Amino acid sequence: MNQYPEAQYDPDLPDAKAVMASLCCVASQYASNPSLELAQLAASLAHKLTAPQYAESKLVEEVAKRLVRQWQHVLDDQAGTMRDLMPASTYLQ
């Protein structure tokens, strides 16, 4: 399920460079201490980068699409790990 239905411009991140810089910081934090929250933040930033206001070039557009796919894959892996760690309970269904 896509929790980011449409890419939205963020006035606090005025251009693609600012979004990429933020994403790099979050990604480096995730690399040293992976967490669902950091993965969600990175996925959100990657999705923001797909907003038309950040489409400064074809390269930015292509990189944004790839980042969205990659961070979605990370989120899917995190969800799979959580399912494996948390056994199904008849009380939660």
Q: Is the pTM of this model over 0.75?
A: yes
In whole angstroms, what is the distance from residue 48 CA to residue 6 CA?
8
In whole angstroms, what is the distance from residue 63 CA to residue 47 CA?
11
C-alpha 17: how far from chain center: 16
CB 39 within 8 A of CB 84: no
Digit-coded pLDDT (tens) for 39-93 = 999 999 999 999 999 999 999 999 999 999 999 999 999 887 767 676 665 665 5
CB 50 within 8 A of CB 20: no
